[in-house]
Amino acid sequence: MRNFIKEAFADFFFEYETPRQVLVKNPKVGIACRILQLGVLAYIIGWVFIYEKGYQIQDTAISSVFTKMKGLAYTEQNGEERLWDVADYVFPDQGVSSFVVMTNFIMTVGQTQGKCPELADGSNNCTTDADCKKGEYKRTGNGRMTGKCINGTCEIQSWCPVQDDRVTPNPPLLAAAENFTLFIKNSISFPEFGVVRSNLVESVTPSYMKTCLFDPDNQPLCPIFKLGDIVSLSGFQFSKIAQLGGSIGVLIEWECNLDLRIEKCLPKYRFEGLYGNNSAASVGYNFRTAKYYTEDKIQRRTLMKVFGLYIEIIVHGQARKFDIIPTLTAIGSGVGIFGVATVVCDVLLLHLVPKKNFYKTLKFKSIPEEEEEPESLKMDQTKEPKQEN
């Protein structure tokens, strides 16, 4: 037993097997196959490794965004002067990654619960009380019908008076929003690599931020953006989008090669409308919000239909770093492709070249079924069977 193990061990460790090959000196086949093999090598090295960075492992970012709007707008309606500041025109207040900047609005002050006529917008018309079924709602109605028809429209239980939103103010009331500024602070981390980064990179100092304004060519790293610039860089015209509102995405893209210095890991800002060209189906951006209060012991509310710019900061981060596994996987697969090239060359050699029969002879040693196993053959250390004659 010990001898058997010892012999098996010696056989395993002290021997080495290598495939036998035929070396064909045929220039046409030689050149064709070398070109094929060099092509595969060029693909592996050039495309997989260099262009697609196949030797690197990839990780997606975890991100957090903080925003702060700044700016003031002034309106004069019916002799009433009014200044609008951040607490008035940003929804919500907290500085999150998606928010609305109000650019236009319809305000109905001091609504109270009660009964009043519906809006005469063409869908609530009636001629007699029978047209207004008590307790029911019209599809685009503003309240619960009471059963009465008053002056051509149904009477409803609702917050009264009903808001008249048939005409949206033009020009937009807060057109001055074009000059508002947005400050974005974005922190990303790549957990696989233990890297944490912020868009306030090395070159963005407090003094720089006091005066800078984002410009895609001259100041691409400034985290302060003029709202009008954001709109125009998205391909919209501010005066047009401000009346009925719109949705804009601010994309912060991080493409970091962590094999380089960390200072080269910089954000790129892009701006695009969020609902593309398919705007026929759904135009603008608006929502209704109300401020509730009590006056003379009656609960009241001021209803605002807010039109504005819905801004969403979307962070998309990918980092790459050298790792042994994708490298060896790429090499391993490359060797496999090399094998395919070899098969193609073999086909060339054995089927398309004039001397193919000769080459086949040399490549293959054919063993017919019926040939007897010569008794003189032993397992190992045998010389070439040429001794048989």
**Minimum distance of a copy of itself from residue 378's CB (angstroms):** 8
Q: How far apart are CA 43 and CA 48, in angstroms?
A: 7
CB of 83 to a copy of itself, least distance (A): 5
Residues 88-127 close enough to bind a copy of itself by CB under 8 A: 88, 91-96, 98-100, 109-110, 113
CB 313 within 8 A of CB 98: yes
Tokens read off for 1: 């037993």
Measured between alpha carbons, how far apart are the two ends of the chain, in Å? 39
CA pair distance 308, 315, nearest whole angstrom: 22
Token readout for 230 is 């954001």
Closer residue to a copy of itself (CB): 127 or 376: 376
**By the 8 A CB rule, do 303 and 108 touch?**
yes
- Secondary structure (DSSP) of 238-305: HHHHHHH-EEEEEEEEEEEETTS-GGG--EEEEEEETTTT-TTSS-S-EEEEEEEEEETTEEEEEEEE
Report in angstroms how near the CB of residue 71 gets to a copy of itself at its nearest: 8
Question: 70 among the known binding-site residues?
Answer: yes
Residues between 288 and 317 with contacts to a copy of itself, criterion CB under 8 A: 288-295, 297, 299-303, 310, 312, 314, 316
Contact code string over 25-64 relative to a copy of itself, x by CB under 8 A: xxx-xxx-xx--------x---xx---x-x-------x-x
Consult the annotation and say whether 9 binds a ligand.
no
- Is 305 part of any known ligand binding site? yes
244 interacts with a copy of itself by CB under 8 A: no
Q: How far is the CB of 161 from a copy of itself (least distance, A)?
A: 13
Q: How far apart are CA 250 and CA 274, in angstroms?
A: 9
Segment interacting with a copy of itself, rule: CB under 8 A, options 117-125, 165-173, 230-238, 328-336: 328-336
Query: Which C-beta is closer to a copy of itself: that of 3 or that of 14?
Result: 14
User: x/- binding map, residues 260-289, to a copy of itself, per CB under 8 A?
Assistant: --------------xxx-x-xxx--x-xxx
Interface pattern 342-361 for a copy of itself (x via CB under 8 A) = x--xx--x-----x-xxxxx
Q: Output the CA–CA distances (angstroms, integers) from residue 148 to 23, 94, 111, 127, 134, in the order listed.
A: 103, 45, 21, 10, 8
Binding track over 203-242 against a copy of itself, x by CB under 8 A: -xxx--x---------------------------------
Residues 129-168 that bind a copy of itself (CB under 8 A): 135, 137, 141-144, 156-159
State in angstroms the smallest separation of the CB of 351 from a copy of itself.
Answer: 12
Long-range contacts of 194-202 (CB under 8 A, 24+ apart): 195/256, 195/258, 195/262, 195/265, 195/319, 197/254, 197/256, 197/262, 197/265, 199/223, 199/252, 199/267, 201/263, 201/266, 201/267, 202/263
Half-sphere exposure of 260 (CA within 13 A, CB side): 9
Q: Rule CB under 8 A: is residue 185 a binding residue for a copy of itself? A: yes
Instruction: Single out the residue of 302, 247, 300 nearest to residue 112, CA to CA.
Output: 300
Annotated binding site: 68-70, 181, 286-288, 305
Annotated binding site for ATP: 68-70, 181, 286-288, 305
